[in-house]
Amino acid sequence: MRRVAQHRGLNRERAEAGAPTTVADDVTPVRPVTPRVDPEDAPVLPAWIGPYRPQRRLRGGPIGEVFLAREADGSPPALATIKRLHPHLQHVDAARALLAHEARVLARLDHPGIVRVREPATADAHGWFATDCVHGHALVDVVRRAEQLGLRMPLRHVLAIVASVAEALDHAHSRVDDDGCALHVVHADVSPAHIVIAPTGRVILTDFGASHSRLAAPRTGKRPNLGPVASMSPEQARGEPLDRRSDVYALGVVLWELATWSRLYHRLAPDQVRARVAMGAVPLPSQVRADLPAELEDVMMIALQPAPQRRFATAATFAAALRRLAGPADLRGLDAWIGRVFN
C-alpha cells in the first residue's frame, strides 16, 4: 500500500515539475456519492424584486433565498438570478452586512469562471442583488444524476473541472483594491453545489456568500461558518483565520470525492466529521479506488495537507499540476458526457 504523501516527505516540486502521463478514462459503474444540498421549499413567490419578476425559487440558505427572475425593462426580458435576504432578516444588521459583502466581492471580480454581479449597490440599499443567470447544471446535480445511471465521470473531465475552478479561485485570491492593496478574498465554501457546468463545457464558480475579504466590516465576534463541514479546511473547522490555502484544501476535497466517486466522510455524524476535518484526517484515495494514478494521488494529497504551509501555495499552482495530468482541454467532450447523463 502506498503511504500518505506527507508521511513519505513528498515535496511540492515533484507535483509541480515534469510532465506526468495523462490519466485514463474509467466509466465502470460504481456506487457514487450524493453531495449534500439544501432542501428546496415551495413558498409563495414575491411579485417583484426591484425591476425583476421572479419566475421560480431556486434554493434557500441560512440567511437568504435565490430566485430565477426576468428583468421587466429588458427587450426581450433578460433572465437574472436574484439573491435576497429572508424577509425576517431584512432589518438584521449582521445578515445585511453578509449580503452586502458578497455583492462587493463579486463586483471586484471579472473572470469567465466566476458569476458576474449586476447591481451590487442594491444589497446595501434593499437587501438583494442580481447576478447573470448561469445556464447549465450544478456539479452536485451532475453527480446525483450520474449516480442514478450507475456512471462515473471520466478522470480527464474531473481534472478539467477542478482545474477550471482553481483558476477562477486564483483570480479571486489575487484581486486588489484601487490602491493596489490585496483584498485577501477567500471563497470559504467551495463545494459541488457552487460549481456550475455550462452547455459549452465552461465551468463557473458561484455563491460567495460565505467569503472572507478585507472588504468586510470589522467583526467583534467569530465569523460564522456557513458552508458544509465536510468541505471545510482544518483551520476553518477550528475557527482560525483563513487565507487562500483554505480554498485549495476545500477544492482538494471536491477532487478527492469526484476522483474516487465516494464521500470523504461517509456515514459519520456531524460531530465526527468536524473532528476528522479539524485533525486533517484524510485517507489515501487509492484505498478507495485502487486504479487511481500515483501522480494524481500525489497532487491530491498535497492539496489536502493538514498544515496550510505544506499545501500548494496558490490555486494557480494547483491548477497547473492538474492541467499537466488532464492533457489537452476537451470542453466538447465534457459537454457531451453531461448531455449523455441528462438525456
State the Cα–Cα distance between residues 197 and 191, nearest whole angstrom: 13
- At residue 27, what is the residue type? V
205 touches 165 (CB < 8 A): yes
Asked if residue 182 lies in contact with residue 74, where contact means CB atoms within 8 angstroms, the answer is: no
Of 194, 213, 197, the C-alpha closest to 205 is 194
Residue 302: name the closest of 315, 287, 291 by CA: 315
What CA–CA distance (Å, rounded) separates 101 from 121?
10
Question: How many residues does this entry show for the chain?
Answer: 343
Quote the Cα angle for 284-288-289, to 5°: 105
- Distance separating alpha carbons of residues 81 and 55, to the nearest angstrom: 10
Q: Half-sphere exposure of 62 toward its Cβ, with a 13 Å CA cutoff?
A: 13
Selected catalytic residue, list 189, 247, 298, 335: 189
Asked if 189 is an active-site residue, the reply is: yes
Please give the DSSP secondary-structure letter assigned to residue 120: T
Q: Which residues are catalytic?
A: 189
